[in-house]
Amino acid sequence: MLLEVRKLTKRFGGLTAVADVSFGITKGEIVGIFGPNGSGKTTLLNLVAGLMPPTEGDVLWKSAPIQGRPAHEVAASGLVKTFQNPQLFAELTVLEHVHIAAHLALKRRLGWRRLATLLDPDAGNASGALNERAEQIVRLCRLDASRDRLAAEISYGEEKMLGVAMALMCQPELLLLDEPASGLGAAEIENLEAVLRDLKQHGTTLCIIDHKVGFLGRLADRAIGLHHGAKIAEGAPDEVLRNPDVVMAYLGHSRDRI
Amino acid sequence: MNRQAAFFAVTAVVLLLLPLVIKSDVVMTILVFAWLQGMLAVSFNLIFGFTGQLSMFHAAAFGIAGYATHLSMQYLGVGYWTGTVLGALLVSVLSVIVGTICFRFRLKEFYFAVVTLAFSEVARITVVNWNSVTNGTLGINLQEKPWLFGFKVDDTVSWYYLSLVALAVTLLVCSRVVHSWMGRCFSAIRLNDELGDTLGINVFRYKLAAFVVGNFIAAVAGSLYAYYLGSLEPGFLSIDASLGIVAMVLLGGRSSVAAPVVGAVLLVSLPHLIHFSAEVRSIVYGSILILTILLMPQGIYGSIASLLRKRHAS
Amino acid sequence: MGQLILGQLLNGAILGTLYGIIALGVTLTFGITGIVNFALGVFMMLGAYAAWYFTDVAGLPYPLAVPCAVAATALAGLVADQALFRFTRNNLVNGLLVSIGMIAVMESVALLIFTSTPKEMHRVLPGVIEVAGFVLPKMKVAVFGLLLTVILATYAALTRTWIGRAAYAYAQNPEAAALMGVRTERLQTGVVVYSTALAGLGGALYASLYSLEPTLGSLFVLKAVEAAILAGIGSVLGSLFGGVILGITEGVGSIYLPLAFRDVYGLVFLVAILLFKPAGLFAGRK
């Protein structure tokens, strides 16, 4: 079990954003977390990524608690999260973004010896291998055409893909995606699905939260339904989607009544 | 050889041959000051322009090093160069302390500026009041000069070459760092440090690295400057001095390694071109600061560079 | 010893109100325009020299000279806002640099005009008054009372009048306030002018107690910023308490530690607060 979430609860004053949620993620699967807006999905993901401390419960990443670990350590240990609203470096180009994200890979490859590259930029040929990887990922994420454009100038869909690309450069074992499809058009969603399926092929475990039922339904191996911060269903995607509680959460009333 | 390298090669040759052409001692003196202030400005820019941290501690690093060099020569009996190294080490240790405090507590931009200003003021007040050691506001007269390869660096031309080499080394080091993976970390920190964190960049570590390296270089510059000038005074650590450094960088430009040197040359030579009293000099510094912030945020170098880029594009 | 401490306490409290009035200006400017305006020190200096000028050179009676000085300073503040500060709204770093630049320029101009020879205004309210067994100069007590009144009046205005509450609302949520019809540009300019007026008042009163020199402003404004941050920038009453705490600490501290340390207390507070309790001691209240 790569990730284990146990009785996770988060309260903000009087508001309970996440209520007693427990689940696990095993290596190689794609887990989709569904829920309408306001069901606590983003808060749950932030808790899982260690970005905020839970009120109760714990999160175990590779059997070690994730609470209190600084963000860069979490990323270095293989757990990487993307942002729902794309976070970018305004003045830099797409390619430069990906190169910055290569830092973790460089650190893994060379460790302390990377200091030597300050004196001699070609030392260890690390930059060669990493440049290649960067190119691969840019192509994979269909950002090739925009590689030299400034982040401020690319489309929203490309911004989201750039977020994914940067996360990929960090060589994640588990990639947490926060509403990757929101704001994207049909063609872009297709693109995203292809990329994510590719990732799974290459051994990356994915955990995706979204409220777009179709997108997640096609992609996920296993689904978890969330409503008002609590887990209301778990199982195969089509099962979960047919679950009357889940339908009630989305539509406000059960299917039979339509 | 590409165009930029050619440009630098030509400039280097011109600068090296300059003393043969210029016989005026005044001009040469101005250039010595300009190269040393240039070291200050370039190293400050590493922290401010590239890593995005507005440090008001830089003048303190500059001033403390001068005093430390003198004191180690006086009380420990070491030579000039050892004294300089000791001074730079002292400043580095202080930088680690100040930097760790500031960055551990994740002080953002403005608050970082205020806290480094506070530390700088504490340093200045210490220097002003520790009369037995620093001679307070009266300052100290420095008679010694450094010896290099058996020659006493005493005349203007020797100092010219010494300071030029020091500046060149500074530019080389900063350039290497900025164009490496570490420079990318600095950019990430400057533009969006939270994103950098989630991508695995240890933001604390690299902020501290930029801060310490920048202050180290400022310390070396400070030691050279004090011994060229022949005196030390608490004014080196004043807020006015920090203001001068910021003005140089804003005037010259923040976005390239060498751009601050332009600002340094201009601000150092200005008072000599037009004879200013100290008050008028402050008025000029202050006005430059205001005008560049409001009208020319890219500085002279940056504005010219972007103009050239636009002409190329069209 | 107890007498000495109490005496320093009282003196410190009085000085603290001077810190407080500038701190109030700092806090208001921060809340509404998003920058910490170090240049308020310049306006304090302007107010002081203006008061001196109106009293000793133009021959006006002091109670008239003070409002004139305040008006002159407010006018200067308006000009400065339109020419400079308007372009640095909500940009703390640029605001810092521009205000420090302005200090350099204005102090040097003042040095050129007035020279660094300290100016002494003639004693306005000579004589002393006995307060709780202590002998205090009458003028100091008057200044204390006046500043206290102004600060409290500002607080009352902010919480009771429409303008005040509009300002408060704006500080909390600029967009909502704008949507509700608050004229944000005017509000920002108004607050800047009011803050410079406060600084001018502080300066004008300072002139009656101490000798003047062009750098008095920058020494004071740093203390004022320290006081504002100590209390929690954004808290109106806090700026009064912050100023008084600082004033008292300096006064009582000078009994035990050499005078050289006087300026260090504020710096220590500043660093300590920013590190450990950045919201300030009185966080949460406006």
- Does residue C284 lie within any of the structural domains? no
Element (H, E) at C183: none
A120: region left, alpha or beta (phi > 0 left; psi from -120 to 50 alpha)? beta
**Residue B1, pLDDT above cutoff 60:** no
Residue A255: what pLDDT? 47
* C221/B172 Cα distance (integer angstroms): 41
* B43/B140 Cα distance (integer angstroms): 26
* B189/B202 Cα distance (integer angstroms): 10
Nearest residue of chain A to residue B177 (CA atoms): A118
* A165/A82 Cα distance (integer angstroms): 10
Of the candidates A235, A249, A224, the residue with the CA atom closest to the CA atom of residue A33:
A224
Alpha-carbon torsion C257, C260, C266, C271, what sign?
Answer: negative
* B147-184 per-residue burial string, b: 16 or more CB within 10 A, e: under 16: eeeeeebeebebbbbbbbebbeebbebbebbbebbbbb
Q: What is the pLDDT of residues B93-142, one digit of tens each?
A: 999 999 998 998 888 778 888 889 899 989 998 888 888 888 888 888 88
Q: Where are the domains of chain A?
A: 1-78+172-258, 88-171
What is the residue whose two structure tokens read 């003198």?
Answer: B70
State the average pLDDT for chain B.
87
Whether C and B touch (3+ CB pairs < 8 Å), yes or no: yes
Chain B residues with a Cβ under 8 Å from any Cβ in chain A: 176-177, 179-182, 184-185, 187-188, 191-192, 194-203
* B182/B180 Cα distance (integer angstroms): 5
Say if B130 is an interface residue toward chain C (CB within 8 Å). no
Residue B299: what pLDDT? 81
* B188/B4 Cα distance (integer angstroms): 25
Residue A224: strand pairing partners: A33, A234
The residue ranking higher by pLDDT, C43 or A131, is C43
Cβ B146 vs Cβ B81: under 8 Å: yes
The residue ranking higher by pLDDT, B75 or C172, is B75
User: Poorest-confidence range of A4-8, A84-88, A237-241, B96-100?
Assistant: A237-241
User: Poorest-confidence range of A37-41, A54-58, A106-110, C218-222?
Assistant: A37-41
Mean pLDDT value of segment B62-82 = 90
- Does residue C239 lie within any of the structural domains? yes
Binary contact (A100, B194; C-beta < 8 A): no
State the average pLDDT for chain A.
84
Residue A256: what pLDDT? 47
Residue A244: what pLDDT? 79
Chain B interface, best mutation among A100, A127, A160, A169, by max B CB count within 10 A: A100
Q: Which domain holds residue C247?
A: 2-276
The number of distinct structural domains making up chain B is 1
Reported confidence tier of residue A254, pLDDT bands at 50, 70, 90: very low
Of the candidates B221, B311, B245, the residue with the CA atom closest to the CA atom of residue B47:
B245
What letter would DSSP give residue A70?
Answer: -
Q: Alpha-carbon Rg of chain A, whole angstroms? A: 19
* C266/C247 Cα distance (integer angstroms): 9
- Does residue B282 lie within any of the structural domains? no
* C58/C137 Cα distance (integer angstroms): 26
Mean pLDDT value of segment B197-220 = 94
Residue C76: what pLDDT? 93
Say if A189 is an interface residue toward chain B (CB within 8 Å). no
Mean pLDDT value of segment A81-108 = 89
For chain C, list residues with pLDDT below 70.
1, 123-124, 131-133, 181-182, 282-286
Question: Nearest 5 degrees, angle CA A83-CA A87-CA A93?
Answer: 135
For the domain that residue C47 is a member of, what is the CATH number?
1.10.3470
Residue B27: what pLDDT? 86
Nearest residue of chain C to residue B127 (CA atoms): C260
Residue B69: what pLDDT? 92
* A120/B217 Cα distance (integer angstroms): 21
Q: What is the bridge-based pairing of β-strands C128-131 and C134-137? A: antiparallel
The number of distinct structural domains making up chain C is 1
Binary contact (B185, A166; C-beta < 8 A): no
Q: What is the pLDDT of residues C50-64, one digit of tens each?
A: 988 888 888 888 888
Hey, what are B221's tokens?
Answer: 């510059």
* B295/B7 Cα distance (integer angstroms): 28
Cβ B203 vs Cβ A72: under 8 Å: yes
- Nearest-CA distance C260 → chain B (Å): 7
* C50/C44 Cα distance (integer angstroms): 10
Element (H, E) at A64: strand A64-65
Q: What is the pLDDT of residues B158-191, one digit of tens each?
A: 889 999 999 999 999 999 899 888 999 999 999 9
Chain B residues near residue C277 by CB distance under 8 angstroms? none
Nearest residue of chain B to residue C108 (CA atoms): B279
Cβ C204 vs Cβ C70: under 8 Å: yes
Written as one letter, the residue type at C59 is G
- Does residue B283 lie within any of the structural domains? no
Total H helices, total E strands in chain C: 11, 2
Q: What is the pLDDT of residues C233-243, one digit of tens each?
A: 777 888 888 89
Written as one letter, the residue type at B145 is K
Chain B residues near residue C271 by CB distance under 8 angstroms? 101, 115, 118-119
Of A80, A87, A167, the CB nearest to B192: A87
Cβ A133 vs Cβ A169: under 8 Å: yes
Residue C44 CB burial class (10 angstroms; 0-12, 13-18, ≥19): buried
The highest-confidence range among B41-50, B305-314, C35-44, C206-215, by mean pLDDT, is B41-50
Q: What is the pLDDT of residues A145-176, one digit of tens each?
A: 888 888 888 888 889 989 999 999 998 999 99
Residue C199 CB burial class (10 angstroms; 0-12, 13-18, ≥19): buried
Residue A126: what pLDDT? 61
**Residue A37, pLDDT above cutoff 80:** no
Q: Does domain A1-78+172-258 bear CATH number 3.30.70.2740?
A: no
Of the candidates A221, A196, A226, A197, the residue with the CA atom closest to the CA atom of residue A211:
A226
Binary contact (A89, B192; C-beta < 8 A): yes
